[in-house]
Chains A and B, each alone.
Chain A
Amino acid sequence: MRRLPGLVSIFALTMTASIATVSAETIVVSMKGPGAGNPFWAAVEAGAKAMGAERGVDVIVLAPPTESDVASQISQIEDQLAKGIDGLVLAPTDPTALAPVVNEAIADGVPVVFIDTIGSNAGVTFIGTDNQAGAALASEFICNGVPSGSDVAILTGIVTQSTGKARADGSREGLTACGMNIVAEQTGEWDRAKGLNVMENIITGNPNIVAVFASNDNMALGAAEALKSAGVLDDVLLVGFDANPDAADSILAGEMTATIAQNPVNMGRFGVESVLKLAAGETLDPVIDTGTVLVTSDNAADFQ
Chain B
Amino acid sequence: MTESSEGQKVADQDNHTLETHTRPDGLALRLLPYIDKYGILIVIFVMVAVLYVTQPDVFLSWRNITNIFKQTAVNAMLSIGMFLAILTAGIDLSIGSVMMLGMMSAGVAQFAGMPWPIVLILAPLAGMGAGLVNGIGITKLRMPHPFIMTLGMLFMARGLGNLISGGVPLTGFPDAIRFLGSYQIPLGEYDGTRFNLPVALVLTIVVYIAFSLMLKHTVLGRRIYAIGGNPEAARVSGINVDAVLITVYGICGFMAGIGGLLLIGRTSSAFPTAGTGAELEAIAACIIGGASFFGGRGTVLGVFGGVIVMGLIKNGLNLNNVSVFYQQILIGAIIVIAVFLDVLRREIGTRK
User: A residues touching B (Cβ–Cβ < 8 Å)?
Assistant: 1-4, 6-8, 10-12, 14-20, 34, 36, 60, 62-66, 68-72, 74-76, 78-80, 82-84, 93-94, 96-100, 120, 160
**Partner pick for A82 among B64, B168, B324, CB 8 A cutoff:** B64
Inter-subunit contact B321/A62 (CB<8 Å): yes
Residue of A3, A14, A17, A94 with most partner-chain B CB within 10 A: A14
User: B residues touching A (Cβ–Cβ < 8 Å)?
Assistant: 28, 31, 35, 39, 42-43, 46-47, 50-51, 54-55, 58, 61, 63-64, 67, 70-71, 74, 168-169, 171-172, 182, 263, 266-269, 271, 273-274, 276-277, 313-328, 330, 333-334, 337, 340-341, 344
> A94 CB to closest chain B CB, in angstroms?
5
Inter-subunit contact A1/B31 (CB<8 Å): yes
Inter-subunit contact B321/A70 (CB<8 Å): no
Known: A15-B320, A99-B171. 10 other contacts (CB 8 A): A7-B337, A15-B54, A18-B317, A60-B321, A70-B267, A70-B273, A75-B315, A79-B315, A96-B171, A100-B267
- Provide a sorted-by-A list of 19 A–B residue pairs whose CB atoms are within 8 angstroms: A7-B337, A11-B330, A15-B50, A16-B54, A18-B320, A36-B325, A65-B325, A68-B273, A68-B276, A69-B276, A69-B277, A70-B271, A75-B67, A94-B269, A94-B271, A96-B267, A97-B171, A97-B268, A100-B182
Given contacts A4-B42, A60-B321, A96-B267, contact A14 B67 (CB under 8 A): no
**Partner pick for B169 among A63, A64, A96, CB 8 A cutoff:** A96
Inter-subunit contact A20/B273 (CB<8 Å): no
> A239 CB to closest chain B CB, in angstroms?
28
Given contacts A8-B50, A79-B319, A96-B269, contact A64 B324 (CB under 8 A): yes
Residue of A66, A78, A82 with most partner-chain B CB within 10 A: A82
Inter-subunit contact B324/A83 (CB<8 Å): no
- Cα A10 to Cα B334 in complex, Å, equals 9
Give chain B residues whose Cβ lies under 8 Å from the Cβ of A19: 54, 320
CB nearest neighbor in A for B334:
A7
Inter-subunit contact B55/A83 (CB<8 Å): yes
Inter-subunit contact B333/A75 (CB<8 Å): no
